[in-house]
C-alpha cells in the first residue's frame, strides 16, 4: 500500500552501506558538506577526518587542535570548516590546503559548539565559559560576546537568513538572539527545564528543534514560543546528542540515542518510522544528507565507527 504513495509519504528504509573507521577516540560530530559529497567527522582524538560520502574513502585528515574536538561545521561553499575544541579555540580550516587558516581565541574554557551562518561570513560558537561568541570569519575577530547562559552552551545555530541565532545550554534555556545587535529576543523554556543538548532551526527557520536530556526532542514554534511537537522513544540522559531534519524523503526527525540506535520519527505524526540498529555504543552524532536519503551516524568509544545508511 505504501509503495503507491509518493516518496515523501513512504516509510524510510535505511540500510547500512559503509562503515568508516579511523578515529581512535569517540566521534563527537558529523556533518555533511553543503553539496553532500563529503562527510566531516570530528572526534575526541583531536582530528577531523573528511570522508567521501559515496565511496566511503577517507579524503583528508586535519590535525592541529591540541584538545579533543566537540563540534565541526562546514561553511556554505564547502571550502572551509570550523571546529570547536577543548583547547579553548575555534579553528577555521581550509579544506583544500588541509590546514588551519585561522585560530579564533577568546573562549575562556572548552568550546563546545560552532556553526556558520548561511553567508559564512559569521561564525557562532558556544562553550563552557557560558558565552556565545559571534566571530567575523574573515578577520578572525570576535564581534560579540553574549553572556548567554549560566551553564555550558551546548549548541548555537543561525537561522536561514542569518538574522537570528539560537543557543541552548545545560541550564535548560533556549534563547533566540538578534544576530546584529546581540539582544536576546526570546527565551524558550519548559517548566522543568531539563538540560538542553542540541538546538537547531528548521529549514524554514520558523521552528526550533531542541533535544533535551529528558529523552525528549521538542519542536518549538519561535513565533508563539510554544512547543508544537514532542518526539519520544529514544534514550538521552547524559550526552549532548544531535538531531537532524530529514527533508529529502518523508519529512522526519533523525536522532541518535544512548541505546546505540538511531531513531527516525515522522515530523508530523511523531511516530517512530525506523530504528537503525548496528552501533555498539551511544550514537551521539548523526547527520542527514542535504540532497539524498543518506544518514550518517557515529558511535562512541566502544564502537568508533561511522555508518552511512542509504535509502533508495
Partner 1 sequence: MPVPSLKGKEVDYSDIALPSQDQSNLATLPSPPPWPTSRSEFPTRERTHKILFDASVDKDRDGRFRQLIEKIQQLDPNSEHRIKGKGKGKELLYRYEGEVVEGTRRLQSLRPGRGEFHIIKYEHDQHSVGPPPPTAVLAVNISPLTSNQQIRRHFAVHGRILSFEPEIDKTTGSALGIVYIKFSTHDEAKICVEKEHGGKSNGQGSTLSIQTIPGEELKVVLDDDAKSKLRAILRELDDRRRKGKEAALIKKKEAEAGEPFFPQHAIHYLLILGLLLQLSQNQASPACSVTDKESAFHHKWPIKPLLTESALPSSVLPIPFPLIFKIEITIEVPLTDLPQTWQSQREVVDAELERNGNEYVTIEESGGGQLGSHVKEEDVRRFFDGFKVDKVLRDHLGWCVTFQTSDSARKAKTVLNAGTRTLAHTSVMLSVHTPPSSWTPSMRAAAPSARETSRRWRDGDIAEEAERLILKELRTLLERDVMDRVIGVKLRQMVTDEKERKARGVKVDFLEGDAASEEKEKRGLKGLSFKKNRVVKPQPPPTVEEHSVTEVSPSREADEDQVDELEAVQRPKKRQRVVTEDVTEPELEVSPAVEEVEEDDSALSLQDNIAKRKEPPLADSEDVRPIKKSKATDKKKAESKPTAVEEQSPTPDVVIPGDIDFEVPVITEVRLSPERDSSAFATPEPTSSWSDPIRDGLFEDDEDMYFAKLALSRTSDGEFIVPLPRVSAEEESDPDAPPPFRVHSTGSARTEGYYKITHAEKTAYVTQYTAQAKAANKDVIPEPAVVAPTPTVTSSRSNRANARRRAQGIEEINQMQRAMQLSLGETPATDQVKFNQLQTRKKHLRFARSPIHDWGLYAMERIARGEMVIEYVGEVIRAAVADKREKAYERQGIGSSYLFRIDEDLVVDATKKGNLGRLINHSCDPNCTAKIITISGVKKIVIYAKQEIELGDEITYDYHFPIEQDKIPCLCGSAKCRGYLN
Subset of 225-254 contacting partner 1 (CB under 8 A): 238-240
Q: How far is the CB of 268 from partner 1 (least distance, A)?
A: 30
Q: Smaller CB distance to partner 1: residue 71 or 311?
A: 71
Cβ distance 158 to 144 under 8 Å? no
Distance CA 217, CA 265 (A): 10
Subset of 256-285 contacting partner 1 (CB under 8 A): 284
Distance CA 73, CA 85 (A): 12
Residue from 7, 8, 9, 108 that binds partner 1 (CB under 8 A)? Answer: 108
Cβ distance 69 to 84 under 8 Å? yes
Per DSSP, the three-state class of 152 is coil
User: Could you say whether residue 158 binds partner 1 (CB under 8 A)?
Assistant: no
Residue from 195, 244, 273, 304 that binds partner 1 (CB under 8 A)? Answer: 195
Cβ distance 297 to 286 under 8 Å? yes
Q: Number of residues in contact with partner 1, rule: CB under 8 A?
A: 50
User: Could you say whether residue 71 binds partner 1 (CB under 8 A)?
Assistant: yes
CA distances from 52 to 41, 60, 243 (A): 11, 9, 22
The count of C-alpha atoms lying within 13 angstroms of the C-alpha of 94, restricted to the half-sphere facing its C-beta, is 7
Q: How far is the CB of 53 from partner 1 (least distance, A)?
A: 22
Q: How far is the CB of 297 from partner 1 (least distance, A)?
A: 15
Residue from 28, 202, 205, 293 that binds partner 1 (CB under 8 A)? Answer: 28
Cβ distance 166 to 156 under 8 Å? yes
Q: How far is the CB of 254 from partner 1 (least distance, A)?
A: 18
User: Could you say whether residue 170 binds partner 1 (CB under 8 A)?
Assistant: yes
Residue owning grid cell 515530523: 267
Distance CA 172, CA 43 (A): 25
Residue from 34, 36, 152, 256 that binds partner 1 (CB under 8 A)? Answer: 152
CA distances from 37 to 33, 64, 78, 129, 291 (A): 6, 24, 10, 34, 10
Q: Taking contact as CB under 8 A, which single stretch among the options 5-13, 20-28, 95-103, 245-253 is the one that binds partner 1?
A: 20-28
Chain positions contacting partner 1, by CB under 8 A: 25-26, 28-29, 43-46, 67-71, 85-86, 106, 108-112, 127-130, 142-152, 170-171, 181-184, 195, 213, 238-240, 284, 300-301
Amino acid at each position: 500500500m505504501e509503495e503507491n504513495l509518493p516518496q515523501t509519504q513512504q516509510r524510510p528504509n535505511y540500510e547500512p552501506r559503509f562503515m568508516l573507521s579511523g578515529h581512535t577516540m569517540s566521534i563527537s560530530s558529523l556533518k555533511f558538506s553543503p553539496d553532500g559529497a563529503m562527510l566531516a567527522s570530528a572526534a575526541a582524538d583531536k582530528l577531523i577526518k573528511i570522508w567521501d560520502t559515496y565511496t566511503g574513502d577517507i579524503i583528508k585528515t586535519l590535525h592541529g587542535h591540541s584538545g579533543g574536538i566537540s563540534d565541526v561545521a562546514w561553511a556554505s561553499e564547502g571550502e572551509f570548516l570550523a571546529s570547536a575544541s577543548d583547547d579553548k579555540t575555534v579553528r577555521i580550516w581550509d579544506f583544500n590546503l588541509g590546514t588551519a587558516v585561522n585560530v579564533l581565541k577568546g573562549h575562556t574554557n572548552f568550546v563546545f559548539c560552532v556553526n556558520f551562518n548561511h553567508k559564512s561570513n559569521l561564525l557562532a560558537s558556544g562553550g563552557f565559559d557560558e558565552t556565545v561568541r559571534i566571530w567575523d570569519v574573515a578577520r578572525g575577530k570576535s564581534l560579540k560576546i553574549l553572556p548567554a547562559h549560566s551553564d555550558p552552551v551546548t549548541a548555537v545555530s543561525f537561522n536561514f537568513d542569518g538574522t537570528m541565532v539560537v543557543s541552548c545550554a545545560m541550564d535548560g534555556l533556549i534563547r533566540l538572539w538578534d544576530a546584529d545587535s546581540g539582544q536576546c529576543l526570546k527565551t524558550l523554556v519548559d517548566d522543568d527545564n531539563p538540560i538542553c543538548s542540541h538546538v537547531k532551526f528548521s529549514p524554514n527557520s520558523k521552528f526550533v528543534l531542541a533535544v533535551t536530556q529528558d529523552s525528549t526532542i521538542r519542536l518549538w514554534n519561535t513565533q508563539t514560543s510554544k512547543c508544537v511537537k514532542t518526539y519520544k522513544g529514544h534514550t538521552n540522559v547524559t550526552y549532548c546528542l544531535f538531531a537532524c531534519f530529514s527533508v529529502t524523503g518523508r519529512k522526519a526527525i533523525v536522532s541518535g540515542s544512548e541505546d546505540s540506535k538511531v531513531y527516525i520519527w515522522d515530523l508530523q505524526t511523531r511516530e517512530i518510522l525506523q530504528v537503525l540498529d548496528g552501533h555498539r555504543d551511544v550514537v551521539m552524532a548523526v547527520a542527514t544528507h542535504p540532497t539524498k536519503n543518506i544518514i550518517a551516524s557515529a558511535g562512541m568509544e566502544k564502537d568508533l565507527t561511522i555508518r552511512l545508511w542509504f535509502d533508495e
